[in-house]
Structure formats: structure tokens, C-alpha cells
Amino acid sequence: MQEIIDQFGGYLYQLGYGNKTRQCLCAQAGALLAYSQVTDVTEITQGQIKDFYEWLYECPGKRRGSSGLSESTIAHYVYALQLFFTWLEQTEQIQYNPISGIKFKQHHKNRREPLIREQVEALFAAAGSLQELATLHLFYSCGLRRSEAASLDTRDIHFKQQLLYVREGKGGKRRVIPLTARVAHDLENYYSNHRCQIKPLRVSDEPAFMLGSRGMRMSGSSYQTMFKKIIARCADASLPAGTTLHHLRHSIATDLVQGGMSMLYVKDFLGHSSLDTTQVYARARTAQLKSL
């Protein structure tokens, strides 16, 4: 059955999904096949899919002593299976799509409120180094995702042209982000006076725009650890509990919408595939106006 999963991975590549996303979707589709212990995809029934779905709520979690996956993770499994069976149907490997008639529980995402302007300003004021300031710019001023910041190379930022290139965003999408003069200056200042002083630990780390203290490319978790240190200095800012780097991306998007920016421009700025996703920020704007 590995061969069919590999073919599914090739299909996802043609659709433009990034490497990590393809690996995740293939693994999740493969998990159903392993659970069902089938040797032919035509043997998979609705009952087996339903059993697998219920099992996801009970299977051992990643954290010690936990059981069942989170609703968000289970929603990802459902998405992977829907893609998988749609592909099988389109390529005529199955005559009937067994997942098409199944109704799954609706996943309710945790609402992430954007930070207000004073809170964002407090974070920037609390930045204790050029690297921390550059990190805030990447996630707020540029609206990057953690994976995008981790993949950022020095060649991706053109200081004079004031442009930042995301070579492979979510779903394999590429985009160009314009930088203000201040953001370009602060990023160049970090690069010239901090990044260039650090020796990369490995050859593979040399292209990275952001390096940690050991000379290794900054990972998404490393960025979050640094962000927590900045938050710790903002006790008076009344930041929401559980504030993460993604709050910064949500906040800049909301600020752009509130500033009158076209929703289509905000969609391209964030790298969204659908305008429906960007509409979340329009709703956030309306909710905030009603509270005034």
C-alpha cells in the first residue's frame, strides 16, 4: 500500500503542497490504511472510516499519559482523508467514494483575538536586542508563519528594494512582501551588526537569515522561545494568556484591514489560498468596532 501513498504524494506535489504538508497528509492517509489492515483501497468501507475516526479520539496522544488527539489534529486527518479519496475517485481507482456520505463533527477553532496597537508597541519596546527586534518585524510587520520564518534565507530579503520573498509558503505558495523603510532598516541593521558576526555551525546553516546563539538555523520553536522572553518583559501590557507568534500575524492582518487595505491585498500579503480565510480579519474588525 506504500506505492499508492507515494502516488498520492505525487498528486499533492502537483497541487503545489509543500514538503512538510505532503508528508503529513500522506502519513495521515496511510494511518487509515494501516488501521483498517486492507490490501486494496477498494475494500475500504464507510464503517472502517468511522471506526478510525472514533479511534482518533481515543488513541495515545503525544504527551505522556494523554489519550486522544486534539480536535484540530483530527480535523487535519479528516481533510487528508477527503483529499485522498477524492484523488482515488478522480483517477478511477475506486468507483464509490466512501467518505463522501459521512458527516463529521464540526471543529470549532479557538478564537484568537488580535492584539491592540498599545500591546504591539509594548512588545517592540521590550525587544532587548537587534535579533529580538528583527523577530518581531518578521512576524508582525511581515506577517510570516513560523515555518516561513524558519525557512527564510539571507537571499530572500532585499534591503534596498525593500522586499521580502517567501519562496515556499503554506501549500507551496510563493509571495513577495513589501517592507517599509523602518522595517528594511531594522532587518538590515540586525543582519549587518549581529547575523554577520555569528559563525554558522554547519554548511547547511550558512544561508539562514536568522541564526541562534549556537550558529544553527532558528526553528519555529526557537522563535517562540525568544518571543516568550520578550513577553516576560511586558507584564504591564496585559497581553492575553497564551499569546503566541501567530497572534502577531493575526494582529498585522487586522490592522491592515482596519486601515482600509483591500481584502485582496491582505489575502496576498498573508499568502492565503482563499479569500474566505482572510474574511476572518474583516469579522474581527467589525467585532472590535461594535465594542467601541
- Summarize pLDDT for 206-237 with one digit per residue, the tens: 999 999 988 999 999 999 999 999 999 987 77
Q: Is 43 helix (H, G, I), strand (E, B) or coil?
A: helix
Mean pLDDT of the chain: 86
Question: Residue holding cell 522563535?
Answer: 223
pLDDT of residue 14: 85
Residue 9 lies in a domain: yes
Residue 103 lies in a domain: no
Contact 167, 154 (CB under 8 A): no
Residues 135 and 192 occupy one common structural domain: yes
Asked whether residue 93 carries a pLDDT value surpassing 80, the answer given is: yes
Question: Residue holding cell 550558529?
Answer: 215
Asked whether residue 99 carries a pLDDT value surpassing 50, the answer given is: yes
Better pLDDT: 282 or 262: 262
Cα separations (Å) of 5 from 25, 27, 97, 144, 152? 10, 8, 17, 31, 30
Q: Using one digit for the tens of pLDDT, what is the confidence trace for 50-92?
A: 999 999 988 876 544 455 788 878 888 998 999 999 999 999 9
Residues 150 and 285 occupy one common structural domain: yes
pLDDT of residue 290: 37
Residues 25 and 154 occupy one common structural domain: no
Residue 278 lies in a domain: yes
Tell me the H-state helices in the chain: 2-15, 19-36, 46-56, 71-90, 117-126, 130-136, 146-150, 181-193, 220-232, 245-258, 263-270, 275-290
DSSP 67: B
Paired strand residues for 196: none
Phi-psi region of 260 (alpha: psi -120 to 50; beta: other; left: phi over 0): left
What CATH number should be reported for the domain holding residue 15? 1.10.150
Query: What is the average per-residue pLDDT within 162-191?
Result: 89
Asked whether residue 280 carries a pLDDT value surpassing 70, the answer given is: no
**Residue among 94, 93, 58 nearest 74 (CA):** 58
Of these ranges, 174-178, 257-261, 272-276, the one predicted with the greatest mean pLDDT is 174-178
Work out the pLDDT band at 184, boundaries 50, 70, 90: very high
Please give the residue range of the domain that contains residue 212. Answer: 117-290
Of 72, 90, 108, the residue that ends a domain is 90
Residues 78 and 137 occupy one common structural domain: no
pLDDT of residue 213: 84
pLDDT of residue 61: 61
Residues 24 and 74 occupy one common structural domain: yes
Q: How many domains does the chain have?
A: 2
Asked whether residue 241 carries a pLDDT value surpassing 60, the answer given is: yes
Better pLDDT: 111 or 8: 8
Residue 107 lies in a domain: no
Work out the pLDDT band at 195, boundaries 50, 70, 90: very high
Contact 218, 81 (CB under 8 A): no
Active site residues: 145, 170, 246, 249, 272, 281
Residues 134 and 68 occupy one common structural domain: no
Residue 105 lies in a domain: no
State which amino acid sits at residue 124.
F
What CATH number should be reported for the domain holding residue 151? 1.10.443.10
**Residue among 177, 206, 217, 166 nearest 18 (CA):** 166
Contact 213, 201 (CB under 8 A): no
Q: What is the pTM of this model?
A: 0.64
Residues 204 and 121 occupy one common structural domain: yes
Residue 257 lies in a domain: yes
Asked whether residue 289 carries a pLDDT value surpassing 80, the answer given is: no
Query: What is the average per-residue pLDDT within 103-116?
Result: 72
pLDDT of residue 129: 96
Paired strand residues for 176: 165
Of 74, 90, 106, the residue that ends a domain is 90
Residues 147 and 277 occupy one common structural domain: yes
Residues 126 and 268 occupy one common structural domain: yes
Residues 57 and 132 occupy one common structural domain: no
Q: Using one digit for the tens of pLDDT, what is the confidence trace for 10-41?
A: 999 888 777 888 899 999 999 999 999 988 99
Contact 18, 172 (CB under 8 A): yes
Q: Using one digit for the tens of pLDDT, what is the confidence trace for 113-168?
A: 788 889 999 999 999 999 999 999 999 999 999 989 999 999 999 999 999 999 87
Q: How many CB atoms lie within 10 A of CB 214?
A: 9
Residue 111 lies in a domain: no
Phi-psi region of 223 (alpha: psi -120 to 50; beta: other; left: phi over 0): alpha
Query: What is the average per-residue pLDDT within 180-188?
Result: 96
Of 55, 75, 90, the residue that ends a domain is 90
Residue 74 lies in a domain: yes
pLDDT of residue 286: 42
Residues 137 and 274 occupy one common structural domain: yes
